[in-house]
Amino acid sequence: MAREPEATVGGVAVDTRHWIGGERVDSAETFADVSPIDGRVLAEIARGTGTEAAAAVAAAKTAFPAWAATPPAERARLLHAIADGVEQRLEELALVETHDNGALLRSHRRGVMPRVAHNFRFFADWLLGLAHEDFETRGHRNHVSWDPAGPSVLITPWNAPLMLATWKIAPALAAGNSVVLKPAEWSPLTASLLADIAAEAGLPAGVFNVVQGYGTEIGDALTSHPDVRRISFTGSVPTAKRIAASAAANLTPLSLELGGKSPLLVFADADLDLAVQLAVEQYDNAGQVCLAGTRLLVEDSVAAEFTRRFVDKAAALKQGDPRDEATDIGPNIHARQLDKIDGFVRRALDSGARAVIGGHRQDGLYYAPTLLTDVAQDSEIVQEEVFGPVLTLQTFVTEDEAVALANDTRFGLAATLATGDPERAERVTAKLVAGTVWVNCFFVRDLKAPFGGSRQSGVGREGGTWSFDFYCDVKNTVTAPKGWLSHG
C-alpha cells in the first residue's frame, strides 16, 4: 500500500518526498520527524540513500549548463521571485519550522523568515553589482570575472534550518550553480516547502534539489561524488572531518562553519546593564546558536554585581511552548541533544562546578537556563561546545588575562566584548581569535560582511563577494595592448 506523501503540520500541507529534477521522488523507507514541543510525530519523511543522492547530483549536473548561461539579470529576477514566494507564505513557514525545531514562533514571524527572503534579495542584487576594477600590467589589461563552478552540495543544520540553508542556497544559485540541499534529519520540513516555492517562482527543473535522510546513509554519496564542484557544510567538527576526507579524492573545495565556544568579555568600565542584557541573550533559541558567547569572562571587580543582575534578569525569562508569544525559551530539539547537554552539566558539577541558576532538566525536552561558576579553564565544560542553554562564568584581573582566557580553546568563531573604552575595544579586538567580533552588541550580521570561523570553527568565508569567490571559479583575463591583432 502506497504511503500518504503529504503531512499536515500546523495546518500546513508539507510534501515528505525528495525534490529531484523538478519532481517529487519517494524512497522505499522513511524516518520519523518528531516535534520537540510535545514529542508528536509530525511526518514520515522519505529516507534517501546513495540512489537518491546520485539522482539529485545527476539532475543538478544536467541543469547546470543552462542555468550557468542564464543572464545574471534573469537569475536575479528568479531569486527575487523566490523571495516573493517566501514572503507570501511567511506564516506557513514560521508555523512549520516552529513545530519542527521548537524555536520561537514570534522569532520566526518577525525575524527569521523575513531574513530568509532577504537572503535571496541580497544575493540577487549583489550579483548585478559584482565586479572588480580592471587594472593594467605593462600596458596589458587584467579583467577579473566569476565563472559558475558547477553542482554544489549544501548540508545544513537543524537549529535555524531555513535561514542557515538560504545563507548558502541564495549565493550558490546567484553564482550560477545548481544545488543539491541535504537538510538536517531533525528539521527537514521547511526545505521541502522551499522546493515548492522555488518551483512556483519558475526556477528551472534540476537547478534546486532536496534530498532527505541520515548523513551516515546519504552524506558520503553526496560529498564523494566526482560531479560535485562545491560543498558547503554547517555542523560539528567530527562530521566536517568526515566530509573533508570524503571530498579529498576529488579535491572538491569546501566551506565549513563548525560552531564554537565563543567568549563574552565584560570589563569593569562597561555599561553593566548592557553587558547583562548581552549575556542573557546567549540563551536565545535554547542556547542552540553556533555564535553564542557561552563563556562569560567578567572583570573581577564587577563580577559579583554582574552576577546579581544576571540572575535577576535570567529569572524573568519564561520557558515554555514556543508557539506562545510570551515564551522566551523553548525546548531543545531532540532527546539525544538534551542528554548531551545534561551530561555536560552533570560532569561539570561532579568536578566541582557550582550552578548559580539551573543545572537540571525540566519536563519534556526543556532544560533550565544554567550558569556555572567555579570552572577550570581546562575543563570540558569550558573547552567543548554544549549547544544548549548553559553558560559558564570566569573572572579575570588584567586585560591580558582576559584575552588569554578568551583565546584558550580550539575554536574561534565569534567573540563579544562589553567595554566603555574605545581604545580598549580596539586593542582587545585586534588580539581576539575569531571570525566575527561584536563590541557592545550581539548577532548583528550584514550579508556584505565575511562570515566564518578561525581554528576548528571553520574553513573559508562567505558573505558578499566572498560567497561568489567560493561558489565560482574566479578568472583573470589578460589582454595585450591595443593593436595586437595586427601582429598575426
> Which sequence positions are flagged as catalytic?
257, 290
Task: Give the bridge partners for 478, in sequence order.
Answer: 142
Strand, coil or helix: 354: strand
Asked whether 65 and 177 are in contact (CB, 8 A), the reply is no
Please enumerate in sequence order all residues whose Cβ is within 8 A of that of 280, keeping only pairs 6 or more positions apart, or say none. Answer: 310, 313, 314, 317
**Rounded Cα gap, residues 150 and 471, in angstroms:** 8
How many CA atoms, within 13 angstroms, populate the side-chain half-sphere of residue 265? 29
Which amino acid would we find at residue 91?
Answer: E
Q: How far is CA 152 from CA 47, 195, 424, 460, in A?
A: 21, 16, 43, 16
Question: Which residue, chain included where needed, has cell 567560493?
Answer: 470
CA-CA distance, 444 to 197, in Å (whole number)?
28
Query: How far apart, in whole angstroms, are the C-alpha atoms of residue 285 and residue 329?
Result: 6
Find the radius of gyration of the CA atoms of the chain. 24
Nine-digit cell string for 131: 565586479
Phi, psi of 330 (to 5 degrees): -95, -160
